Structure 1
Amino acid sequence: MKVQGFSHVTINVKDLVRSLRFYVDVLGMKLVHRGRKDAYLEWGSAWICLQERPDMAEQRPQIGVDHVAFFIDEQDFVEAVKQLKANDVTIVWEPIRRGRGLSVNFLDSDGTQLELHTSTLAERMKVWK
């Protein structure tokens, strides 16, 4: 297999309209397509699919994806954190330096944990070796 990189993430949400307000209005993602029960968004080179699945709300698994992290330039990090706080976004981990990068973890409108991180895998491995 010759995988070339990460493609996208699909996030199940309870209410598509409410989630779009968070992802577009608060985080600033670009809405590319809106269907009846799904929406496709771009955020830099990443793309995200939001899939309305209210039936899954009570079935949150304990095992599976812990969080989804997005790369952000360090020069934009402080302003991004200010924007999260100005919009009363729940911060799970306050901004900290992890390895050689800065991280902040926060929750979307359904409690899915997201992260903004400023370093690459190669930079992190220099610290862990």
Structure 2
Amino acid sequence: MITGVNHITLAVNDLPRSIWFYTDILGGTLRADWPRGAYLELGELWLCLTLSDAPIAPRNDYTHIALTCSEADFPRLSELIANHAELWQDNSSEGASLYFRDPDGHKLELHTGTLASRLDHYRAQSESRMRIH
């Protein structure tokens, strides 16, 4: 049985730049690094950055990684991110969200909600076609 996400690995073209972004901008903690990679912690997330020999091709679909942030920290962190990252979508969902790209174009989201708050949001909408289980 799956008990959670173990880690996420992202290929990057410039390792020092990516380490800077994930530590200085997103507040992650560098736990280990080597010439072709790094391990970071962002909250409970274990993030592996690995140097790619090929250029990273940014995705054009909706695939992205959402990172949790407290409502109290959201305004400060979202302003910092917006000053250092390309935004790729406006928020139209429940809860505060900021959609941005990391230096290699990986799509990320800063979000304050939870699965429970999202489901409550849809339960409250009588016109919602979503089936909640």
- Please give the range of the TM-score, normalised by the shorter of the 2 chains: 0.7 to 0.9
Residue ranges of structure 1 left out of the alignment (5+ in a row): none
Q: Secondary structure at the match of 1:98?
A: coil
Q: Secondary structure at the match of 1:17?
A: helix
Select which of 99, 105, 129 maps to 1:111: 105
Select which of 83, 86, 107 maps to 1:90: 86
1:79 is matched with which residue? 76
Provide the C-alpha distance between the structure 1 equivalents of 2:34 and 2:63, rounded to a whole number of angstroms: 27
Matched, 1:19 2:18: yes
**TM-score by structure 2 length?**
0.81
Matched, 1:121 2:115: yes
Pairwise mapping of residues 22-33 of structure 1 onto structure 2 (< 5 A)?
22-33=21-32
Q: 1:126 to 1:3 in 2, by over 3 A?
A: same
Give the aligned residue type for 1:75: A
Higher strand proportion, which one?
Answer: 1
Cα deviation code 1:50-80 (max 9, x no counterpart): 010132x16x385888111111111111111
Count of aligned pairs between the two proteins: 123
1:68 is matched with which residue? 65
Provide the C-alpha distance between the structure 1 equivalents of 2:8 and 2:34, rounded to a whole number of angstroms: 17
Runs of 4+ in 1 over 4 A off after TM superposition: 61-65
Higher helix proportion, which one?
Answer: 1
Residue ranges of structure 2 left out of the alignment (5+ in a row): 124-133
**TM-score by structure 1 length?**
0.83
Q: 1:64 to 1:4 in 2, by over 3 A?
A: farther
Superposed CA RMSD in Å reads 2.2
Contact 2:86 / 2:101 at 8 angstroms: preserved in 1? yes
Q: Secondary structure at the match of 1:4?
A: coil
